[in-house]
Amino acid sequence: MTQHRRPQRGGGRLLAIYRRIAGSSARPWTIRRVPVCSSTEDLLAGWLRDQPSLTGPRAVIATHQRRGVGQLGRTWLSPEGGVWISAALPWRSHASGQAGLLGLALALSVTQRLERRGLSIQIKWPNDLLVRGRKLAGLLPGVVQRGSQLRLLRIGLGLNVRNPVPGEGIALRRLEGQQAADPTRWTAEVLLALDHCHGLGGDGAWCIDGVQARLWSDQLLHPQDGQIWQITGLENDGALRLRQGSRTESWRRWP
């Protein structure tokens, strides 16, 4: 196979930055990098098939994806200059895994890393991060269970840093104080966010209050009836709670 299809070990500068920031809490990440690929999700899936025993966290990072995947199978544009990463975290929880709730936990953890750099972030349920109503990052979570127990958490993440973005998007280089934003530095920040989420573990229910406080709106246009519904918060499993007059709904995925 040619190099652009097979991720190689690497990421020396990335891991040096990560370890400097993480200090004694650094985890034993195994990183594979590839300059260009169809999708980091596909490469991670192949890696997990070939080497299923996961003793520590691992990640595939691409400089450019040709066919990145977002929510509902949508294409996620992933040109050079952004953070395009798929990661797998060994997970020990006696609870069953709910990808939606754990996705929100990951979204909150990444949000908190961004907030440490002075950015104001909103979380558009279920897994998008917004600045001024424009998309900065998107997450695609997944879980692997053995029986009723969660064993592996997977996450695909795209973060706009210095890359060109569509009109509804925004990149860190456009934000005050982030003009010199470095994709490698922000990849390290993403690893730290994943570490934080992994350290708290469990089913992710600890994120509910933090996500509710950062929801992007208090209302939305219902895609099925065309009416404005009020967003009243989150259920304990991360579902979005809505009300329109006497009617209520709980969404576990966008209709």
pLDDT tens-digit map of 145-184: 777 778 889 999 999 999 999 999 999 999 988 888 999 9
Residue 50 lies in a domain: yes
Name, in order, each residue with C-beta under 8 angstroms of 186's C-beta and a sequence gap of 6 or more: 83, 159, 161, 172
Q: What is the DSSP letter of 185?
A: H
138 and 59 assigned to the same domain: yes
pLDDT of residue 78: 82
- Report the domain count for the chain: 2
Q: Do 205 and 225 belong together in one domain?
A: no
Q: What is the arithmetic mean of pLDDT over 222-237?
A: 96
Question: What was the pLDDT predicted at 236?
Answer: 93
Phi then psi for residue 207, to 5 deg, are -85, -15
**In terms of residue numbers, what domain contains 224?**
219-251
Q: Is residue 2 part of a domain?
A: no
Same domain? 174 vs 235: no
183 φ/ψ sector (left φ>0, alpha ψ -120 to 50, else beta): alpha
Instruction: Of 2, 247, 237, give the one whose Cα is nearest residue 100.
Output: 237
pLDDT tens readout for residues 110-122 = 999 999 999 999 9
Region of 93 please: left (phi>0), alpha (psi -120 to 50) or beta: beta
Residue pair 113/189 in contact (Cβ under 8 Å)? The answer is yes
177 lies in the same domain as 246: no
**pLDDT, tens digit (0-9, with 9 covering 90-100), for 72-111:** 556 666 899 999 999 999 987 655 567 889 999 999 999 9
Q: What is the pTM of this model?
A: 0.91
Q: Are residues 157 and 241 in the same domain?
A: no
Q: Are residues 227 and 139 in the same domain?
A: no
pLDDT at 3 over 60: no
Q: What is the pLDDT of residue 5?
A: 44
- CA–CA distance, 184 with 234 (Å, rounded to integer): 34
- Per cent of the chain over pLDDT 90 is 72
- pLDDT at residue 6 in the model: 47
Cα–Cα distance, 244 to 167 (Å, whole number)? 31
Please tell me the predicted confidence (pLDDT) of residue 4: 41
**3 lies in some domain:** no
User: Given a cut of 90, is residue 7 above it in pLDDT?
Assistant: no
d(CA 121, CA 110): 10
**Same domain flag for 195 and 116:** yes
CA 143 – CA 172 distance, rounded (Å): 29
Q: Is residue 247 part of a domain?
A: yes
pLDDT value at position 1?
34
**Start-to-end CA span in the chain (Å):** 40
